Structure 1
Amino acid sequence: MARRLRPVELDFIGCAPVRLVFTTGMVASPEAVYRALAEDVPGWPDWFDAVTAATPTQGGAGRDVRLRVGVVFHETILATDPGERYAYRVDATNAPGMRALAEEWRITPTAGGSRVRWTFATDGPPPYRALMRLLRPGLARSFRVSVRQLDRRLAASTAR
């Protein structure tokens, strides 16, 4: 079922053969965004449409994530910089073609809240790389919709 991927580190995020980077603004503070990303892992399905389940593993050093399309990721957390960055790599997956995958969420403060940048860094054979580039518009839409939903969710929890 799950295949082991190449274990990459944080530097892979900057030099991966395929890097898809998406950025948007949020009203929520960097601290609130970070908590939602890194500390409320089981809450991801409530705001990230592609995710159906997310479970912390290894005492918080890893995650198991299930996507709507049936893909499963077993991940290791690479960076937890409160209010600034949350990054992880996929160690094993049932997704075909993938050889390596790491994702990074960067959060920077703005006058109106936060700016969030999600980097999807991956590698695989040439057909996989081409497919990932073709999927860019769909990933961009998923990111925008999900971050908007997270922003609304955080605003509602603050209003309570």
Structure 2
Amino acid sequence: MAHRLRPVEHGFVRSAPVRLVFARGIGAPPPAVFRALAEDVAGWAEWFPAVAVARPARGGAGREIRLRGGARFLETVLVTEAPDVYAYRVDVTNTPGVRALAEEWRLVPIGTGTRVQWTFAADGTALFRGALNLARAGLDRAFRDAVTALDRRLTS
């Protein structure tokens, strides 16, 4: 059953009760990575293995995301500062226990490539927060696999 989450702003990625931060350097330049994140929303399903369906919503002001396994998210885009920051919050989800969720993708040039940093910020029940912390290694692996696939897509 879907439920509405507490609306949070971009600053939540720095103040959330649970913050998971992952980073990796890739060869693709920041503008190309930013375009893949912010402008080619449907393309997420091609390089992020956990994403089954991704599509823009509300004329680009939001996104609809469906993960493999059945989780669904309706999101609002909070920040699009090309080519540095892309952030969004989840407004509605079928994931139990979550009360607020926002994600930020921060891109920093390194030579001709990009340092990609993903912050997953959340609040929820004690059980949800504990489960999220236990899932840290799996989320790190999913991030590394996705960013590696994105890099291959952008540099081949």
For 2:37 and 2:132, the matched residues in 1 are separated by: 23
- Deviation of 1:42 (Å): 0.3
Partner in structure 1 of residue 23 of structure 2 = 23
Partner of 2:65: 65
Matching residue of 1:51: 51
Work out the CA distance in 2 between the residues paired with 1:25 and 1:110.
8
Alignment TM-score, normalising by the size of structure 1: 0.96
Cα distance per residue 1:123-153 (max 9 Å; x no partner): 0011111100000000000000000000000
**C-alpha deviation, 1:10, in angstroms:** 0.6
- 3-state SS of the aligned residue for 2:9? coil
Q: Which runs of 5+ in 1 are unaligned?
A: none
Q: Which amino acid aligns with 2:75?
A: E
Aligned length: 156
Aligned residue for 2:125?
125
TM-score (norm 2): 0.99
In 1, the alpha carbon distance for the partners of 2:127 and 2:2 equals 20
When the two chains are superposed, the root-mean-square deviation of aligned CA atoms in Å is: 0.6
Q: Which residue in the other structure is 2:140 paired with?
A: 140
Q: Percent identity among equivalent residues?
A: 59
What's the offset of the Cα at 1:112?
Answer: 3.9
Q: Which runs of 5+ in 2 are unaligned?
A: none
1:75-111: CA deviation from partner (whole Å, max 9, x where unpaired): 0000001110100000000000000000000000011
Q: How does 1:88-127 map to 2 (within 5 A)?
A: 88-127=88-127
Alignment-mate amino acid for residue 96 of structure 1 = P
- Structure 1 runs, 4 residues or longer, greater than 2 Å off: none
Equivalent position SS for 1:99? strand
Q: Residue type of the partner of 1:118?
A: W
2:14 maps to: 14
- Mean alpha-carbon deviation: is it higher for 32-41 or for 110-119? 110-119
